[in-house]
Structure 1
Amino acid sequence: MSNVTPMPADINGRDGRGRFASGPNNIGRPRGAKSRHARDLSALVRTLRDRAFEAFAVAIDNKERWAVELYFRMSLPNGLTTEMHGTAVEDIESATADGDISFEQAKALIANKKDGKAINELDDHRAMMKEIVEKLPKR
């Protein structure tokens, strides 16, 4: 048994320390509730976004190495900077076997190819559907 008396919940359903209190009318933190810190940080990031992009562009224009490296690290799949002669699955497998690219880079390239194939197949399906609709009698 503790000799500390619990603080009563305030009108917002919080205990005396500001935490969500559990009880008959309050089951704790509501679903989807964001902390004040997360909200404040998100608002700060949104207000600084345009200035940050402008500063980043200026750094790239000034040929600052960190900015160029960051740009490519964020743009290329898993930091892939090795030039490859082909991106067929066999080319990716041989580059991985030769040690030119890592397993993670190969995995990212193959996933990228799968996504591209799915998009192409979707375009083919749309073209077929358009042909079918055109052949249907007009109302």
Structure 2
Amino acid sequence: MVVAVFAGITGVCGVLAALAGAVGLREVRRVRRFGEVARALVKRAPGDVSGEPWPPRPSLQFATSDGRVVEIVSPVPPSRRLRLLDGETVLVSYDPADPRSVVVHRRERVGLEYGFIAAGSVLVLVCGVLLVVAG
């Protein structure tokens, strides 16, 4: 009985993780494929102190095709290899219906989405094994 409850919880968590990864991956692909492209100005985040091990995410400011100026927090953090420096411009794709939905080119981080899908699949597999063993 206890194993079945644990297996059920594991299975539900696995399905949720896999769905989160699939939805994230679908959103990235949708914005890249159907979104509009713009150049965004990188603006330093308030309270950013150089030398911090995990600096806050900078803001991205861009103009939409209908002339609105949008400023959002970057959906991806800066990394050592792909830094987002204050004043530089980056290429973004955005959803015209919701310009806050942004994908930064060459920084999509789809590996994270695939990781969620893989981890969720493993948890669902563990759930199945537990149910077979307990059954």
TM over 0.5: no
- The structure with the larger Rg is 1
Higher normalized contact order (CA 8 Å, seq sep 6+, divided by chain length): 2
The answer to which structure has the higher strand fraction is 2
- What TM-score, normalized by structure 1, do the two folds share? 0.31
Larger helix share, 1 or 2: 1
Give me the TM-score of the superposition, normalised by structure 2.
Answer: 0.31
